[in-house]
Structure 1
Amino acid sequence: MFYLSLRMEFVTNLIPSHAKFNLNFISARSDAGANTSPHVSANKSNRDCFQSVQENGELRKLLKMKSDSHNIYKATARRASASSSVSKNMRKALQEDISYQKEPKDDKTNQKSSNIKQSSSKGKPAAQDCILNKQSQIANNSKAFQEQSKQFQQDTEIHQVVFAKVHKAASSTLQNILLRFALSRNLNVILSKLNGHILSEVRSKISPSHIMPRPGGQPYHMLCSHVIYNEKEIGKFFPDSVFRVAIIREPMNQALSALQYYTRNWPSTQLKRGLRKYPKDPNNGFLRHPEHFYNPANNWGPAGSYINNRMSIDLGFDQKNFDASKRNQTKIKSFLKRLDNEFDMVLICDMFDESMVLLRRYLKWPMKDIIYIKVNAAKQENNSVWRHKPILNTTITKSFRQWDAIDYALYEHFLPIFLKKIKSEVSFQEEVKVFKTIQKKVSEFCLHDQTDQNLSISKNAWTNEFNISRSDCKLMMQTERSLTSIVRQKQTERYQRYLKSRLVKTKSQQTQAHP
Structure 2
Amino acid sequence: MRRLGCHRIGLLWKGLLLFLAAAFAGQLLGIIFNKSAERPPSLFSLPSMDSLAPPLGLCQVRTHVMFLKTHKTASSTVLNVLYRFGEERGLQFALPLGYQFGYPMHFIAHRVKGYRGPRAVEFSIMGNHMRFNKVEVEKVMPADTFYFSIIRDPVALAESSYGYYKAVAPAFKRSKGLADFASDPWRYYDPRLRNNHYARNLLWFDFGLDHNSNFSLPLAKRGEAVVRRSFSLILISEYFDESMVLLRHALCWPLDAVVSFSLNARQAGASRGSFGGRLTLTEEQKQKLREWNALDWHLYVSFNRTFWEKVELFGKARMDTEVALLRTRRGVMARICLQDDGRPVEASRIQDKAIRPFQSGMVKILGYMLRSDLDNATYHACLRMIRPEIQYKDFLDAKQFPRPLQPSVLGAGSLRRELQPPRRAEQRPVRGTRIDLDRLGLGLNQTAPLAGRKRPLR
TM range (shorter): 0.5 to 0.7
Q: How far 1:234 moved relative to its partner? A: 1.4
Cα deviations by residue, 1:79-115 (Å, 9 ceiling, x for unpaired): xxxxxxxxxxxxxxxxxxxxxxxxxxxxxxxxxxxxx
Partner residue in 2 for 1:310: 202
Q: Give the counterpart of 1:168 among 55, 72, 90.
A: 72
Q: How far 1:176 moved relative to its partner? A: 1.1
Please give the residue correspondences for 1:70-469 in structure 2 after superposition, counting only pairs within 5 Å. 152=58, 156-193=60-97, 196-208=98-110, 211-213=113-115, 218-263=121-166, 267-274=168-175, 278=176, 282-299=177-194, 304-319=196-211, 322=212, 325-380=213-268, 382=270, 388-393=279-284, 396-426=285-315, 427-448=318-339, 450=371, 453=374, 469=378
Partner residue in 1 for 2:50: none
Identity %: 27
Gaps of 5+ in 1: 13-148, 455-466, 497-515
Q: How far 1:287 moved relative to its partner? A: 2.0
Q: Specify the code of the residue in structure 2 equivalent to 1:190.
A: A
Q: How far 1:292 moved relative to its partner? A: 4.2
2:92–2:123: 8 Å Cα contact kept in structure 1? Answer: yes
Which structure exhibits the higher relative contact order, with contacts defined as CA atoms closer than 8 Å and separated by 6 or more residues? 2
Is the partner of 1:379 in helix, strand or coil?
A: coil
How many residues align structurally?
320
Task: Determine the C-alpha separation between the residues in 2 that align with 1:477 and 1:386.
Answer: 32
Larger radius of gyration: 1
The alignment yields a C-alpha RMSD, in angstroms, of 3.2
Is the partner of 1:244 in helix, strand or coil?
A: strand
Partner residue in 2 for 1:489: 398
Residue 272 to residue 357, structure 1, CA distance change in 2 (3 Å): same
Is the partner of 1:163 in helix, strand or coil?
A: strand
Task: Determine the C-alpha separation between the residues in 1 that align with 2:210 and 2:392.
Answer: 32
Task: Determine the C-alpha separation between the residues in 1 that align with 2:386 and 2:112.
Answer: 28
Compare 283-292 and 420-429 and name the one that shifted more. 283-292
Task: Determine the C-alpha separation between the residues in 2 that align with 1:230 and 1:403.
Answer: 25
Q: Specify the code of the residue in structure 2 equivalent to 1:312.
A: W
Is the partner of 1:229 in helix, strand or coil?
A: coil
Q: How far 1:202 moved relative to its partner? A: 1.3
Q: Give the counterpart of 1:470 among 379, 386, 394.
A: 379
1:309–1:405: 8 Å Cα contact kept in structure 2? Answer: yes
Q: Specify the code of the residue in structure 1 equivalent to 2:380.
A: S
Task: Say which structure is richer in helix.
Answer: 1
2:337–2:374: 8 Å Cα contact kept in structure 1? Answer: no
1:261–1:378: 8 Å Cα contact kept in structure 2? Answer: no
Q: Tell me the TM-score normalised to structure 1 length.
A: 0.57
Q: Specify the code of the residue in structure 1 equivalent to 2:125.
A: M
Q: How far 1:336 moved relative to its partner? A: 0.6
Is the partner of 1:347 in helix, strand or coil?
A: strand
Task: Determine the C-alpha separation between the residues in 1 that align with 2:84 and 2:116.
Answer: 18
Is the partner of 2:95 in helix, strand or coil?
A: coil
Residue 399 to residue 243, structure 1, CA distance change in 2 (3 Å): same
Cα deviations by residue, 1:141-179 (Å, 9 ceiling, x for unpaired): xxxxxxxx99947xx210111111110000111111111
Q: How far 1:401 moved relative to its partner? A: 2.4
1:188–1:214: 8 Å Cα contact kept in structure 2? Answer: no
Q: Tell me the TM-score normalised to structure 2 length.
A: 0.63
Task: Determine the C-alpha separation between the residues in 2 that align with 1:356 and 1:495.
Answer: 39
Q: Specify the code of the residue in structure 2 equivalent to 1:410.
A: L
2:158–2:199: 8 Å Cα contact kept in structure 1? Answer: yes
2:107–2:137: 8 Å Cα contact kept in structure 1? Answer: no
Is the partner of 1:187 in helix, strand or coil?
A: coil
